[in-house]
A = this chain, B = another copy of it.
């Protein structure tokens, strides 16, 4: 069977070393070990330490595991918001995060931009009552990024509020300064090149304190996956329920490989591939970048309008072994989405561009 290259924005192409580590996990019977064993605690600690190095996570942060990043939206809102949250919304996923707050009975505030547009900091005013500010580094639906510097600037203006960053489809690319971010989260089936089934929540002691305060007030902050419950188990590298043990093992191994390569090299390569893709889109007659403002063009999920519709192009690309994503929601048949994650090489990206050029003729 011909192996395809997946440029889909998640689930995505598996990291080159993924299969080797999975075979090792089978040999070591990691799928059968107890999640209360010393062996599991050592795996959790290893993965924590590798992510800490990779993403420059300070000591006052925990790294917690859930079933998905979607679950983390819910857990943050349950654990850290008594009454009010604020959301920068500019696509389907940031909107869903906002909607969760309402579904949980919170007052959800938002500043919403049209699909494909980013935020001008001068226009952002956060209501005094908002306890938590929810930002999306990379809108997977529209391919709009919020520059990390803008996030940091915003936090410096609103130091009393907790800041949460959705980096689901960009981690480990964004160079967040965790002195200016209170929590961030991702799922492993995007930039880490693993199968879906594991969410990762990087969260500081301020969030924990907020959650404990809500508990003291007699409010419901959740059950086993409330922040206090997750954190208390994290202290001994355990989890409140049986987690995706093999996923945690594999994430540690892949983060270790990324550390060996170096985060600077990974980020530089991401930028090089992004430049290749956006340069092609500038030259192309039929396939054009959807996001106009270069500052807001995502380096990790490149979205393009396809003249005459994208369905045919996606099919023809798939026949060449290159799988790109369709547009999101109502853009399904109008756009393509090309993920630019670490698992895909410069050479594979060039082959995709060559095929795109060939199909234009």
Contact B8 A32 (CB under 8 A): yes
A19 CA / B96 CA spacing, docked (Å): 37
In-complex Cβ contact of A19 among B26, B99, B189, B198 (8 A): B26
In chain A, positions 231-275 with a C-beta closer than 8 Å to chain B are 240-247
A78 CA / B1 CA spacing, docked (Å): 45
- Centre residue among A11, A96, A220, A240 by max chain B CB count within 10 A: A11
Q: Does A116 contact B (CB under 8 A)?
A: no
Contact A70 B11 (CB under 8 A): no
Q: Does A4 contact B (CB under 8 A)?
A: yes
In chain A, positions 35-77 with a C-beta closer than 8 Å to chain B are 35, 66-71, 73-74
Contact A104 B224 (CB under 8 A): no
Asked whether A242 and B34 contact (CB < 8 A) given A26-B19, A104-B220, A223-B74, the answer is no
Q: Which residue of B lies closest to A241 (CB)?
A: B70
In chain A, positions 1-42 with a C-beta closer than 8 Å to chain B are 1, 3-4, 6, 8, 10-14, 18-19, 22, 26-35
A243 CA / B198 CA spacing, docked (Å): 9
Chain B residues lying within 8 Å of A32, measured Cβ to Cβ, are 4, 6, 8, 11-14, 195, 323
Copies held by the complex: 2
Is the contact region of chain A dominated by helix, strand, or loop, or is it mixed?
A: loop
A30 CA / B325 CA spacing, docked (Å): 16
In-complex Cβ contact of A196 among B13, B35, B96, B222 (8 A): B35
Q: Which residue of B lies closest to A197 (CB)?
A: B244
Q: Does A103 contact B (CB under 8 A)?
A: yes
Chain B residues lying within 8 Å of A323, measured Cβ to Cβ, are 32
Contact B67 A67 (CB under 8 A): yes
Q: Which residue of B lies closest to A18 (CB)?
A: B31
Q: Does A100 contact B (CB under 8 A)?
A: yes
Asked whether A224 and B100 contact (CB < 8 A) given A13-B32, A26-B22, A196-B244, the answer is yes
In chain A, positions 282-316 with a C-beta closer than 8 Å to chain B are none
Contact B8 A29 (CB under 8 A): no
Chain A interfacial positions (CB closer than 8 Å to B): 1, 3-4, 6, 8, 10-14, 18-19, 22, 26-35, 66-71, 73-74, 96, 99-100, 103-105, 187, 189, 194-198, 220, 222-226, 240-247, 323, 325
Given pairs A31-B189, A99-B223, A100-B224, 7 additional interface contacts (CB within 8 A): A1-B28, A31-B194, A32-B195, A70-B240, A73-B223, A104-B220, A197-B197
